[in-house]
Amino acid sequence: MKKNRQKSSVGLSRRLHFPDDEKRIPWLSCLLDAYAIADTGVAIAIRDAEKKGKRRLACGKGCGNCCVHQRDIPVYPHELVGIYWYVSEKMTPPLRDTLKSLLSVHGIGPPCPFLIEGSCSIHPLRPIGCRQFNVFTSTCEPGEDPYYTRRDDVLVPIAGYTDRAFAAVLAFYHLDKDADVAKAVKLVRGQIMNLLEYDWKKLVNVMDEAEAGRTATAS
Residues that bind ligand SF4 (CB under 6 A): 58-59, 63, 65-67, 73, 112, 114-115, 120, 122, 126, 130, 133, 135, 139-140
Q: Provide, rounded to whole angstroms, the least separation between the CB of residue 109 and ligand SF4.
A: 12
Q: Between 49 and 135, name the residue whose CB sits nearer to ligand SF4.
A: 135
- Report whether 40 contacts 13 (CB < 8 A): yes
Q: Provide, rounded to whole angstroms, the least separation between the CB of residue 181 and ligand SF4.
A: 27
Q: Between 146 and 158, name the residue whose CB sits nearer to ligand SF4.
A: 146
Q: Provide, rounded to whole angstroms, the least separation between the CB of residue 136 and ligand SF4.
A: 9
Q: Between 19 and 94, name the residue whose CB sits nearer to ligand SF4.
A: 94
- Report whether 165 contacts 172 (CB < 8 A): no
Q: Provide, rounded to whole angstroms, the least separation between the CB of residue 219 and ligand SF4.
A: 34
Query: DSSP assignment of 90-104, as one string?
Result: I--TTHHHHHHHHHH
β-partners of residue 120 are 115
E-state strands within the chain:
74-75, 115-116, 119-120, 193-194
Q: Between 115 and 175, name the residue whose CB sits nearer to ligand SF4.
A: 115
Name the nearest CA neighbour of 148 among 75, 48, 70.
70
Q: Provide, rounded to whole angstroms, the least separation between the CB of residue 145 and ligand SF4.
A: 9
Name the nearest CA neighbour of 38 among 103, 106, 133.
133
- Report whether 103 contacts 88 (CB < 8 A): no
Q: Between 3 and 61, name the residue whose CB sits nearer to ligand SF4.
A: 61
Work out whether the CA dihedral 56, 61, 66, 69 comes out positive or negative. Answer: negative
